[in-house]
Amino acid sequence: MITKNKILLNNSLNTSNLVEKIGDDEKVIVVDNIKFHLENIIKKHPENKIYILVDENSYKYCYSYIEKTFATSPNIIEIESGEKNKNIDSANKIWNYLSDNGADRNSLMINLGGGVITDIGGFVASTFKRGISFINLPSTLLSQVDASIGAKVGINFNNLKNQIGLFSPAEQTIIFPKFLKTLSKKELTSGFAEVVKHALIYKLDAWEELRRFNLKDVDNTKLFDLVVKSTKIKHEIILQDPKEKGIRKALNFGHTFGHALETYFHNKGVRILHGEAVAIGMICEVFVSNKVLNFDLHKMFEIVEYIAINFKSYTVEMQDYDEIYSLMKHDKKNSDNKIRFALLSKIGEIKINQTCEKNDIFQALNFYYQLKK
């Protein structure tokens, strides 16, 4: 069960078999034979009505894994990679392609890529002709454990994260762990931030297990095990709260600061990945957790040390704190003109809809700033 303040996961896991259902609804599955499972889905749709959305990276490194699934060449739509391209212009490009190439209500869109692809692909599919079917083939660690799961689809607007979107579930999300072997170290580390978050909001044992994982020398078998466990944590939360009215907000730990920092760095022309921004966000929000909820100081430094060792640091300029604060005020979770957080009272216990003073936010940013010294 999942309660408002504590998350409990009861499903057992046989990690020797990578064909795994994430929940009883089979909406999310982990497979070791992607061709077999993909064939079962596409046979429900006319061959000439299959559209595959990719970016240059997922096409180059991942498309070959599924290419032989199709009897005839599918329609491939390619957009440029990167969060800056998750916008209305890219959505318009995809809508135009679908319209010009015969897409109809019987069509299927296959989103092959990271979080940008699954977000914008799901959004376009959900709005084209009032909705066509889509499936997600997440190719990055971030998208496998987080972005492709949970039915959130959307685009950025006015340089703000995920301002336009809706809840629209994929027909199925197929997680193929071998895709992770195509990732750069930077991409893999970025995605691992969401694994860290899931462990912290779940329970102490999960955090202790995670701390033993060597991110500098990755054991793929152990990584795949963590992927499945992390995905199950998120899926279990979403089943309890599909529309983010309550406990699903726990998944925002690290993201109130993280989204603002991601936009801040992008506006400065600094290439930062989503997970890297969330890692900084978790440092800031565990600091605020100590201020607001008396989160244990020793555990705070334990978490901060782990993140500081394993994730790249970025320079946050002190004179820009007001700009970051302003960006945080646009967060979707806010209400009553107050910035809302999901904070930790202790590892495995999360408190949603928390607030703090502006000075606490500045102190958190300064705490991160001081770590670099």
Domain edges within the chain: 20-182, 253-371
DSSP string across 261-313: HHHHHHHTT----HHHHHHHHHHHHHHHHHHHH---HHHHHHHHHHHHHHS--
CATH of domain 253-371: 1.20.1090.10
Distance CA 171, CA 121 (A): 13
pLDDT by residue for the chain (373 residues), tens only, comes to 334 444 444 343 333 345 677 766 678 999 988 998 899 899 889 889 999 999 999 999 999 999 999 988 899 999 999 999 999 999 999 999 999 999 999 999 999 999 999 999 999 999 999 999 999 999 999 999 999 998 999 999 998 888 999 999 999 999 999 999 999 999 999 999 999 999 999 999 999 999 999 898 888 889 989 989 999 999 999 999 998 899 999 999 999 999 999 999 999 999 999 999 999 999 999 999 999 999 999 999 999 999 999 999 999 999 999 999 999 998 888 887 899 999 999 999 999 999 999 999 999 999 999 987 6
User: What's the predicted TM-score (pTM) here?
Assistant: 0.89
DSSP string across 204-263: HHHHHHHHTS-SSS--HHHHHHHHHHHHHHHHHHHHH-TTSSSGGGGGGTTHHHHHHHHH
Q: Which two tokens stand for residue 362?
A: 């500045």
Distance CA 116, CA 122 (A): 10
Q: Which residues pair with 17 in a beta bridge?
A: none
Q: How many CB atoms sit inside 10 A of residue 46's CB?
A: 12
Nearest to 86 by CA among 335, 324, 259: 259
Q: What b/e string do you get for 182-220 counting C-beta neighbours within 10 Å, with b at 16 or more?
A: bbeeebbbbbbbbbbbbbbbbbeebbeebeebebeebee
Kindly give the residue spans of alpha helices, DSSP state H, lying in 76-173: 88-100, 115-127, 141-142
133 in the Ramachandran plot: left (φ > 0), alpha (ψ -120 to 50) or beta? beta
Distance CA 343, CA 293 (A): 8
Using DSSP, state whether 164 is helix, strand or coil: strand
Can you name the CATH fold of 20-182?
A: Rossmann fold (3.40.50)
